[in-house]
Amino acid sequence: AGWSLSCRRNVSSSPSRLQSCMPGWVIDQYGTNGVLTYTEDIPVPTVNSPSDVMIKVYAASLNPLDIAMRGGYGATLLKLKRHPMSVLGSDYGSEFPLILGRDVSGVVVDCGSEVTHVAPGDEFPVETRQSGRICDSNRVSHKPKSVTHAEAASIPYVANTALSALVNAGVLITGGSGGVGTFSIQLLKAWGAHVTVTCSQNAEGLVRGLGADEVVDYTAGDAPEQLEMMEKFDVVLDNVGGETEQLALGLLKPWSGAKYVTLVTPLLLNTDSMGLLDGICQAGSSLQSKAIQNIISGGVFYRWGFYAPDGPALDDVSRLVDAGKILPVVEAQFPFTQVPQAFQKLEQGHARGKTVVRVT
Ligand code: NDP
């Protein structure tokens, strides 16, 4: 419920109450649904920190966590957050009355002095709720224009959970200056990942322009040391293979579900040299032994990546291109009459994006 409703209802009887109270559902003890109590006497919170914003709530959504917290789940940490000194064992008071709920959609009504990206009245944020209707401005985002507040309130908690579980990863792309690399940097940035790239020094401007957060010149003598000094990665996309594989595997976070994906696999070489069946068996057994070895030694998932045709996925890419989030990186164009020259260009290596032949 939005506090402004309470204010309006009480405006004639008590102007001071107008500013000081709001309605809401609270709990005064942990338990089953009977502990939920409606009240109109919740003190309206005030903006105390320079980074706080105050939200007039239009809609709130529920999460399974709210049911668990109604029953006392997380009470120890919650109390610690409210009363940090309780870690010393002293009783610094109760966490009750407690307002449950995390997701809201509404309007900003007040901001701390350091809040710059939203302003009272003119923004409709979606936020993850923290202590009633006050929250840190970092948690606030602009409401999608095409949905209602009720629909908007359903988004933030699940979206932030999914993004943090699946997307907000630290990714290393080796060979970031080539065709796959220049595309992967942009895709991962559009998804919100932190991207580190290895490439030659003269490609640094290109990959940074595409969004790479950190760049390591692999031709520098101390490149392995530079990489080893960085925070460990959640994902490695290896476009280089060979000796890079061992180095990259050692750069992954151990025992945390980190994944190494290499595009440089021996499958086609094996089938060419050994025949289809033996080649596939040899490649399969090499993959299996590497996968087992890496999971046992460091809790790291080892995988081969392959091209897989997927039209609908390319539709998503088209939307990212149209939105300006992915730029095609075309290094060289050749007319149809110069296909051999296009092959020659590719054969020289050192690609910086893609080589294209114009047919018409
Ligand atoms: P490109 O030739 O377009 O790019 C390779 C890039 O890597 C170049 O920019 C090159 O630039 C750079 N590079 C070379 N050596 C290193 C190194 N040691 N460290 C960092 N960067 C380096 O290739 P693609 O991007 O198209 O493909 C990448 C790899 O993935 C290829 O081996 C390709 O065969 C494979 N691939 C596999 C697929 C599969 O289905 N498994 C599908 C697509 C690709 P420079 O030499 O100037 O540094």
Q: Could you give the CA distance from residue 331 to residue 317 in angstroms, rounded to a whole number?
A: 20
Q: Name the least confident of 113-122, 261-270, 276-285, 306-315.
A: 113-122
Average pLDDT (310-318) is: 91
Question: β-pairing, 52-61 with 103-111?
Answer: antiparallel
Average pLDDT, the chain: 87
- C-beta of 45 in contact with ligand 1 (< 6 A): no
- C-beta of 179 in contact with ligand 1 (< 6 A): yes
pLDDT digits (tens, 9 = 90+) for 144-154: 888 888 888 88
Tell me which residue has its CA closest to atom 18 in ligand 1: 240
- List the 103-111 sheet strands across, edge first: 134-136, 52-61, 103-111, 125-128, 141-142
- C-beta of 170 in contact with ligand 1 (< 6 A): no
Q: Identify the residue whose tokens are 């320079």.
A: 50
Q: Could you give the CA distance from residue 178 to residue 348 in angstroms, rounded to a whole number?
A: 13
- Residue whose C-alpha is closest to residue 244's, from 272, 271, 216, 285: 216
Tell me which residue has its CA closest to atom 37 in ligand 1: 263
Instruction: Provide the pLDDT for residue 290.
Output: 96
Q: 181 C-alpha vs ligand 1 centroid, how far in Å?
A: 7
Q: Could you give the CA distance from residue 317 to residue 183 in angstroms, rounded to a whole number?
A: 10
- C-beta of 353 in contact with ligand 1 (< 6 A): no
Tell me which residue has its CA closest to atom 22 in ligand 1: 175
The pLDDT > 90 percentage for the chain reads 57
Q: Check: CB of residue 195 under 8 Å from CB of residue 188.
A: yes
Inter-CA distances, 303 with 245, 249, 260, 326, Å = 11, 11, 6, 26
Average pLDDT (73-101) is: 75
Residue 8: pLDDT over 50: no
Q: 176 C-alpha vs ligand 1 centroid, how far in Å?
A: 8
Residue 15: pLDDT over 60: no
- Residue whose C-alpha is closest to residue 325's, from 338, 313, 316, 336: 316
Q: What's the distance, CA 262 to chain centroid?
A: 22
pLDDT digits (tens, 9 = 90+) for 193-217: 999 999 999 999 999 999 999 999 9
- Bigger pLDDT: 277 vs 101: 277
Question: β-pairing, 301-304 with 259-262?
Answer: parallel
State the pLDDT confidence band at 17, using cuts at 50, 70 and 90. Answer: very low
Residue 12: pLDDT over 60: no
Report phi then psi at 134, rounded to 5. -100, 135
ipTM above 0.85, yes or no: yes
Instruction: Provide the pLDDT for residue 7.
Output: 31
Residue 143: pLDDT over 60: yes
Tell me which residue has its CA closest to atom 6 in ligand 1: 178
Greatest mean pLDDT among 21-25, 45-49, 250-254 lies in 250-254
- C-beta of 244 in contact with ligand 1 (< 6 A): yes
Instruction: Provide the pLDDT for residue 9.
Output: 30
Q: 97 preceded by cis ω (within 30°)? A: yes
If one residue of 172, 210, 239 were mutated to test the ligand 1 pocket, choosing by the most ligand atoms within 8 A of its CB, it would be 239
Residue 260: pLDDT over 70: yes
Query: Is residue 35 classed exposed, middle or buried when 0-12, 13-18 and 19+ CB atoms within 10 A define those classes?
Result: middle
